[in-house]
Amino acid sequence: MMHSNVVGSLLAALMVFVAALPSAVGQAQPREPHTFLMKHIGFKPADIQEMEQGKVVTKVLKTNEKTEVAVFGIVWIDAPMDWFVRWQKDIEKLESGDAVQAIKKISDPPQLSDFNDLTLPEDDLKAIPKCKVGDCEVKVDAPALERLQKEVNWSAPDAHEQASRLIRQMTLEGAQAYHENGDASLAAYRDKKRPTFLDKEFEGLLKNSPFLVEYVPEFHRYLDEYPNAELAGADSYLYWSRVQFGLRPTVRMNHVVIYPFGEGDDTAVAIGSKMLYASHYFHTALELKFLVKDSANPKKEGFYLISLNRSRSDGLTGFFGGIVRSAAQGEARKGLAFALESGKQVLEEAYTKHSSQ
């Protein structure tokens, strides 16, 4: 028979263990990005399983704004984060492709020479003299339209070159104004009967991404309050591009912010790309990327690439708006899946080649 003192000691030890167990469980950290995906994106166990198998997983996200399309995607990449960050900083290389007709990273501060290759398509230049406030084929605000119609001699043989020079000058002024005043400087599009205020549109996109406040509040504040907020360690730049999109080429200008945060095994990177202007289709857009470790395997090389794209566009309301919106969601989801799959392949192949040398 076991001695009573021994039994007492064992019972005391067991009671200490049981008493400590709830505390230990309570202190366990939730696994990321799994918790985020289930709480904010609506991932199910089957989605988690596919993700952990290295597959691209995409979803269309619900939104109450009828002009908005939101898609989400995630994939594991077997390469260091800094490889992707270097890739993201070289935007001219990153976004090169058959659909990109021209692209240029803008200097800080912006220079007129940054826009030497910026031109509107011929059809847009032909449309501008006929434009009226509230009825125009090109997205433009009232002051810009007035300047284009007054300062260009549209009957002259070189009218389109005059217009292109003025557009480059106004785009430079727009970049400078954004650097100084942020969203307050953004245009109010007057191509339709009802004006579209870009600062309010972007404010809506941020409100529809509340997880930013929970996970990276300083990053959210910087996107919302630029240039009146600081973000230590961030890399920020503007760029413009002319892209074949839909039925016509579209000129865009974006603000990109790359923000490394966390320490040690918890190091992560947040990347935001904010559309400041688009000559067609879009009111505005916000693309968010996150490079994060699996918190259950922090020493494992590689990272999850998370991408969440929100955009607001024309043609998604009215009688046929639901049909158009459904098609736009499908195309956006398909495009994101392709981007994640091709990005994973290119980055992993480049890193494997580098590692074998």
> Strand pairing partners for 292?
304
Is the residue at 189 inside a domain?
Answer: yes
Classify residue 8: in a domain, yes or no: no
pLDDT over threshold 50, residue 13: no
Local confidence band at 320 (pLDDT 50, 70, 90 cut-offs): low
Place of tokens 């970049």: 175
Whether the per-residue pLDDT at 275 is higher than 60: the answer is: yes
Confidence of residue 315 (pLDDT cuts 50, 70, 90): confident
Query: Mind listing the pLDDT tens digit for each residue in 136-151?
Result: 999 999 999 999 999 9
* Exposed/middle/buried for residue 237 (C-beta within 10 Å: 0-12, 13-18, 19+): middle
pLDDT for res 223: 97
Domain count, the chain: 1
In a domain, 142, yes or no: yes
CATH number (domain holding residue 314): 3.30.530.20
The Cβ-side half-sphere exposure at 241, using a 13 Å CA radius, reads: 20
Across 6-15, 64-73, 281-290, least confident range: 6-15
More confident residue, 357 or 198: 198
How confident is the model over 278-304, as a mean pLDDT?
A: 93
Average pLDDT over residues 50-73: 94
pLDDT score of 251 more than 70: yes
With contact defined as beta carbons under 8 Å apart, do 161 and 251 qualify? Answer: no
Please write the tens of the pLDDT for every residue from 85-108: 999 999 998 888 878 999 999 999
pTM: 0.88
Mean pLDDT of the chain: 89
Cα–Cα distance list, 220 to 68, 113, 198, 208, 260 (Å): 20, 32, 18, 12, 14
Q: Which of 62-66, 104-108, 172-176, 233-237 has the lowest mean pLDDT?
A: 62-66
Q: How confident is the model at residue 258 (pLDDT cuts 50, 70, 90)?
A: very high
The answer to whether residue 312 sits within a structural domain is: yes
Residue 120's pLDDT band (cuts 50, 70, 90): very high
- Given this model, what pLDDT does residue 215 score? 93
152, pLDDT greater than 50: yes
Amino acid at 275: M
* pLDDT in the model for residue 284: 92
Q: What's the CA gap between 111 and 124, in Å, rounded?
A: 24
Task: Tell me the average pLDDT across 70-81.
Answer: 96
Does the pLDDT of residue 231 top 50, yes or no? yes
User: Per the domain annotation, does 19 fall within a domain?
Assistant: no
* 287 pLDDT higher than 50: yes
Owning domain of residue 202: 34-356
Predicted confidence at residue 319, as pLDDT, reads 59
Report d(CA 252, CA 285) in Å as an integer.
11
Per-residue confidence band for 2, with pLDDT thresholds at 50, 70 and 90: very low
**pLDDT at residue 234 greater than cutoff 50:** yes
**In contact, 254 and 273? CB cutoff 8 Å:** yes
Is the pLDDT reported for residue 186 higher than 70?
Answer: yes
User: Which pLDDT band holds residue 9 (cuts at 50, 70, 90)?
Assistant: very low
pLDDT of 292 above 50: yes
Q: Is residue 21 a part of any domain in this protein?
A: no
Domain contains 28: no
pLDDT band with cut points at 50, 70 and 90 for residue 22:
very low
The reported pLDDT for the residue numbered 101 is 94
pLDDT at 21: 42
Highest mean pLDDT among 1-10, 212-221, 246-255: 212-221
Stretch 326-342: mean pLDDT:
93
What is the predicted pLDDT for the residue at 28? Answer: 61
Residue at 17 is within a domain: no
What is the average per-residue pLDDT within 156-163?
97
SS (H, E, C) the chain: CCCHHHHHHHHHHHHHHHHHHHHHHHHCCCCCCHHHHHHHHCCCHHHHHHHHCCCCEEEECCCCCCCEEEEEEEEEECCCHHHHHHHHHCHHHHCCCCCEEEEEECCCCCCHHHHCCCCCCHHHHHHHHHCECCECCCCCCHHHHHHHHHHCCCCCCCHHHHHHHHHHHHHHHHHHHHHHHHHHHCCEECCCCCCEEHHHHHHHHHHCCCHHHHHCHHHHHHHHHCCCCCCCCCEEEEEEEEEEECCEEEEEEEEEEEEEECCHHHCEEEEEEEEEEECCCEEEEEEEEEEECCCCCCCCCCEEEEEEEEEEECCCCCCCHHHHHHHHHHHHHHHHHHHHHHHHHHHHHHHHHHHHC
